[in-house]
Amino acid sequence: MSAAYRASSARPRIGVLALQGDVREHVHALDAADADAVPIRRAAELDDIDGIIIPGGESTTMSRLLGVFDLFEPLQEALADGLPAYGSCAGMILLATTILDTRPDARHLDALDVTVRRNAFGRQVESFETDLEFAGITDIDDADPMRAVFIRAPWVESVSPDVEVLARVPSGPAAGRIVAVRQGDVLATSFHPEVTGDRRVHEYFVTMVRR
């Protein structure tokens, strides 16, 4: 991790894994959240960032491309060394220690002690939106609920005692399912805050990086 970022008033330099998925949307959200966003495609680029976002996309494709670009082991080591990370949708899957309903050859980064079920909410046509309460965001100063967009999303089946549950689906067939978690400096959501214009999750992550 970069040693350059120290002052809490500075803009942290946050990488966005740029192999596949909704990279541009996260870059724009980070810029609006007062961070400098940079695309990450090479292992050497990990040395100059203060945190990283693993975006939504297709998790098995992303795991394969991490190997193609010789990024898998360096990223796994950086996370183990304490690099703050945020994963949305496919990013949540890649960060998990255990993945259900995935391909046998899929690899994961083991940075978040949770069991995740891939495509848990169903196919693309079953994508949906809902309002969520998000601990640390919507419970401050009577803030509005967070509009969450789920697109072929995972959910978290179980968490270790070290993992904090931040949000659950409030109603419907999936009521109570865990869709946002944090363990130390690793954050993950099943949904896509980068597509809604609500920057609060990115601001939350930027604050994590600053601290």
Residues annotated as binding site for L-glutamine? 57-59, 118, 151-152
Give me 12's structure tokens. Answer: 């942290």
| Chain Cα centroid distance, residue 27 | 13
Question: Which one is catalytic: 25, 192, 202, 203?
Answer: 192
Question: Which one is catalytic: 25, 26, 108, 194?
Answer: 194
Give me 102's structure tokens. Answer: 């995935």
Query: Token pair 């995972």 is at which residue?
Result: 154
Question: Is 202 a known active-site residue?
Answer: no
Question: Which one is catalytic: 89, 108, 202, 203?
Answer: 89
Question: Is 28 a known active-site residue?
Answer: no
Q: Write the secondary structure of the chain as one string of H (helix), E (strand) and C (coil).
A: CCCCCCCCCCCCEEEEECCCCCHHHHHHHHHHCCCEEEEECCHHHHHHCCEEEECCCCHHHHHHHHHHCCCHHHHHHHHHCCCCEEEECHHHHHHEEEEECCCCCCCCCCCEEEEEECCCCCCHHHCEEEEECCCCCCCCCCCCCEEEEECCCCEEEEECCCCEEEEECCCCCCCCCEEEEEECCEEEECCCHHHCCCCHHHHHHHHHHHC
Question: Is 89 a known active-site residue?
Answer: yes
Catalytic residues: 89, 192, 194
